[in-house]
């Protein structure tokens, strides 16, 4: 095989510790050329291959007993084009490192999620998102990418070149090949003004539409422990703080570079289920989950997170074709979550929710195909690019039905 660095103990675990595997080997190519060599040699001996980012998915997307590729050796910027508001980035780049690098070129990501620990390709491969009614997931920020297919072919994809493969690859769960470079659509560097305040559950719901409409980013956490009296509401804005009643409740306020405002620390380990729902079902669905927790799971203390996401046209994006609300439910990593998440999932599914690919769910190919109008297009591209299924693992075989 190539001279890629090998780890001495080939064991791998995800962030929450809920997924572990023993790959035949873990390879960390130090360059794109090494990556291509590694993939070609794996293809020659018929080895299966998975690629991992930062291992922050709760589902066994990366699990393999074949070759596990880490792109931790492919970090940083390939090139920045401030005039075009674009930059090409090595796919293994961690989001936390990207902020400073882009800022030096007067650029910043359009939106980010709750944390910045993910690798760029890992984040886009599951449709990772933040919040904002007019803002799409990180996958929608991608305007081009380079894919090393299971056969070791190198494909540069964009809306102009290999457009079908590009659209499929924007959210592809590592099933089309190893993404080695990503070109991002960016904004001129900008600051954000964050306010966090406390309000009652009922007041929060009454103001929901207005807050979502009036703020670039709006989300809130409902904290079950405090029931109706103390849900936590969190808003980001680059507008003036609101006047009047709400201002009296402001608990915390800060202004900083955008990439420093978006992420938060996640010191405690947890497991998570999140579904993307049609936006107009969001508040009803939340009330049903809250009712479930009050009646059947009163011991769960972890908050529920409520966010918004613009519709997009990416084939496997949970926000495909519809304005979206995402609702996330958590449980401590050391506690059982199965019956609780199964009941929550039933509520989500009743509202035609689509699961976050990186978070726990039980859906299989038949059910997923019903939720995605472009399911067959995606599967067609996947079979074309990886006809032998070298990039599949047990989890993906259940998701894709082969």
Binding mask 365-384 for ligand FAD (x = CB under 6 A): --------------------
Binding mask 205-224 for ligand FAD (x = CB under 6 A): --------------------
Listed in order, strand segments (DSSP E) in 339-388 are 354-355
- 221, 289 Cβ separation under 8 angstroms: no
CB of 198 to ligand FAD, least distance (A): 21
Residue 393 engages ligand FAD in binding (rule: CB under 6 A): no
Q: What count of Cα atoms within 13 Å lies in the side-chain half-sphere of residue 258?
A: 24
CB of 357 to ligand FAD, least distance (A): 7
Q: Segment near ligand FAD (CB under 6 A), from 18-26, 38-46, 51-59, 191-199? A: 51-59
Residue 129 engages ligand FAD in binding (rule: CB under 6 A): yes
Burial environment of residue 362 by CB neighbours within 10 A (0 to 12, 13 to 18, 19 or more): middle
Burial environment of residue 9 by CB neighbours within 10 A (0 to 12, 13 to 18, 19 or more): exposed
Task: Show the tokens assigned to 113.
Answer: 């999620």
Q: Segment near ligand FAD (CB under 6 A), from 40-48, 110-118, 151-159, 370-378? A: 110-118
Q: Segment near ligand FAD (CB under 6 A), from 79-87, 157-165, 172-180, 334-342? A: 172-180
Give me the residues paired with residue 154 across strands: 148
Q: How many residues bind ligand FAD (CB under 6 A)?
A: 32
CB of 256 to ligand FAD, least distance (A): 18
Length of the chain: 402
CA-nearest of 215, 196, 212, 238 to 108 is 238
Residue 53 engages ligand FAD in binding (rule: CB under 6 A): yes
Q: Where are the alpha helices (DSSP H) in 232-299?
A: 258-261, 282-295
Determine the 3-state secondary structure of 312 from DSSP: strand
Q: Segment near ligand FAD (CB under 6 A), from 118-126, 207-215, 219-227, 361-369? A: 118-126
- Applying CB under 6 A, the residues found at the interface with ligand FAD are 15, 50-57, 61-62, 71, 91, 113-115, 118-119, 121-123, 125-126, 128-129, 173-174, 178-179, 266, 356, 358
């Amino acid at each position: 095989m190539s001279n890629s660095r090998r780890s001495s103990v080939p064991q791998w675990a995800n962030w929450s510790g809920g997924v572990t595997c023993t790959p035949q080997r873990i390879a960390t190519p130090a360059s794109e050329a090494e990556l291509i060599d590694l993939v070609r040699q794996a293809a020659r001996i018929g080895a299966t291959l998975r690629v991992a980012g930062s291992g922050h998915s709760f589902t066994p997307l990366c699990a393999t007993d074949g070759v596990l590729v880490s792109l931790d050796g492919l970090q940083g910027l390939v090139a920045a084009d401030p005039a075009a508001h674009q930059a090409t980035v090595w796919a293994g780049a961690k989001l936390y490192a990207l902020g400073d690098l882009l800022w030096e070129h007067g650029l910043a990501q359009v939106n980010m999620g709750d944390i910045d620990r993910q690798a760029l390709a890992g984040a886009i491969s599951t449709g990772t998102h933040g919040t904002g009614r007019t803002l799409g997931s990180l996958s929608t920020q991608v305007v081009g990418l380079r894919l090393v297919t299971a056969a070791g072919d190198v494909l540069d994809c964009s809306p102009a070149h290999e457009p079908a493969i590009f659209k499929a690859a924007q959210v592809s769960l590592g099933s089309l090949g190893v993404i080695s470079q990503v070109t991002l659509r960016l904004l001129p560097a900008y600051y954000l003004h964050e306010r966090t305040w406390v309000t009652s559950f009922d007041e929060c719901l009454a103001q929901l539409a207005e807050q979502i409409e009036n703020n670039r980013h709006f989300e809130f956490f409902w904290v079950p422990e405090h029931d109706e009296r103390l849900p936590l509401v969190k808003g980001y804005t680059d507008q003036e703080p609101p006047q009047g009643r709400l201002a009296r409740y402001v608990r915390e306020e800060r202004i900083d570079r955008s990439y420093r405002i978006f992420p938060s620390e996640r010191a405690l380990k947890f497991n998570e289920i999140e579904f993307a729902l049609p936006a107009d079902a969001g508040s009803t669905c939340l009330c049903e989950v809250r009712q479930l927790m009050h009646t059947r799971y009163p011991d769960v203390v972890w908050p529920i997170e409520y966010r918004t996401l613009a519709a997009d046209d990416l084939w496997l994006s949970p926000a495909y074709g519809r304005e979206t609300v995402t609702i996330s439910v958590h449980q401590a990593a050391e506690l059982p979550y199965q019956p609780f998440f199964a009941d929550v999932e039933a509520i989500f599914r009743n509202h035609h929710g689509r699961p976050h690919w990186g978070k726990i769910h039980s859906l299989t190919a038949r059910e997923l195909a019903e939720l995605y109008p472009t399911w067959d297009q995606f599967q067609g591209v996947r079979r074309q690019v990886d006809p032998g299924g070298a990039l599949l693992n047990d989890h993906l075989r259940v998701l894709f039905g082969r």
